């Protein structure tokens, strides 16, 4: 379009940018937060009791979804769903996973904010499906 | 930003700043920021674009409420024609689209190495 032709000296070669992205990923993978998340994820996936508790909650949630959307679920059903939800949150493997996820999200969010400030665009929004 | 410097380790901060610096000089991003600067320096075009974006958002809300009138449609159409007659706005919109289309490539490079989607951990997308 209009405007001066971009000076190639001002541009980073595409492979250099991709390499910086890979270097960033390697450093992120070495953080305690990322390692803790991977560990917590593995623990949760291998915890049969936690998986049973999760499946029970998800099955109940799925079965009640239409009624919940219409605000038509009975008090007993809602109470049962909340009981199952509390059981999920009380499970040690689930709790550890959620904490690890929160800690990892915090540093990813901070890093993405820094990227966004530098480039003038919201990095996370650009990479996520948009309803627009 | 204070939040980033307090949350990120020195190694993460360095790696993030390195990536940020390279991204800043990536062609689609350079092109976008130049187009944005040209738009920002053109008061008339900038204000027209702001009116267009605002009218678009307003129309979406009215559509969701089933309250769109013919006058709304005519107003939007007139604004669209005005915007389309301004090369500086079209250039900005195209540059923005190209920059937005470029960033998922970078996210893929990061995510492939991590084994999880980096962008999904980085915050909610805004519409």
Mean pLDDT of B108-113: 97
Mean pLDDT of A75-85: 93
Mean pLDDT of A95-121: 95
What is the full DSSP assignment across B64-100? HTT---HHHHHHHHHHHHHHHT-HHHHHHHHHHHHHH
Contact A120 B1 (CB under 8 A): no
Q: How far is A22 from chain B, CA to nearest CA, in Å?
A: 6
pLDDT at A29 over 80: yes
Q: What letters, b where the CB count within 10 A reaches 16 and e where it falls short, cover B93-120?
A: bebbeebbebbeebbbbbbebbebbbbb
- Mean pLDDT (chain B) is 91
Mutation site, B15, B29, B30, B120, interface A, largest A CB count within 10 A? B15
- pTM for the predicted model, two decimal places: 0.84
Contact B30 A1 (CB under 8 A): no
Mean pLDDT of A73-80: 91
């Amino acid at each position: 379009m209009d405007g001066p032709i971009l000076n190639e000296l001002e541009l980073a070669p595409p492979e250099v940018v991709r390499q910086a992205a890979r270097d960033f990923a390697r450093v992120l993978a070495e953080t305690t937060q990322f390692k803790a998340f991977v560990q917590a994820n593995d623990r949760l996936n291998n915890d049969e009791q936690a998986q049973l508790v999760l499946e029970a909650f998800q099955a109940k949630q799925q079965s009640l979804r239409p009624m919940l959307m219409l605000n038509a679920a009975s008090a007993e059903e809602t109470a049962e769903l909340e009981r199952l939800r509390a059981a999920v949150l009380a499970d040690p493997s689930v709790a550890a996973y959620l904490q690890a996820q929160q800690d990892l999200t915090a540093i990813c969010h901070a890093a993405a904010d820094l990227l966004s400030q530098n480039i003038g665009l919201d990095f996370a929004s650009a990479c996520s499906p948009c309803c627009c | 930003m204070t939040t980033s410097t307090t949350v990120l380790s020195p190694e993460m901060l360095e790696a993030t700043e390195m990536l940020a610096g390279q991204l800043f000089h990536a062609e689609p991003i350079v092109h976008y920021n130049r187009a944005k600067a040209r738009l920002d320096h053109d008061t008339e075009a900038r204000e027209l674009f702001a009116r267009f974006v605002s009218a678009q958002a307003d129309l979406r809300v009215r559509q969701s409420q089933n309250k769109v009138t013919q006058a709304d449609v005519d107003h939007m159409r007139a604004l669209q024609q005005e915007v389309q007659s301004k090369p500086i706005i079209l250039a900005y919109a195209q540059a923005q689209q190209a920059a937005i289309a470029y960033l998922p490539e970078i996210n893929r490079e990061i995510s492939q190495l991590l084994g999880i989607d980096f962008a999904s951990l980085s915050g909610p997308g805004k519409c």
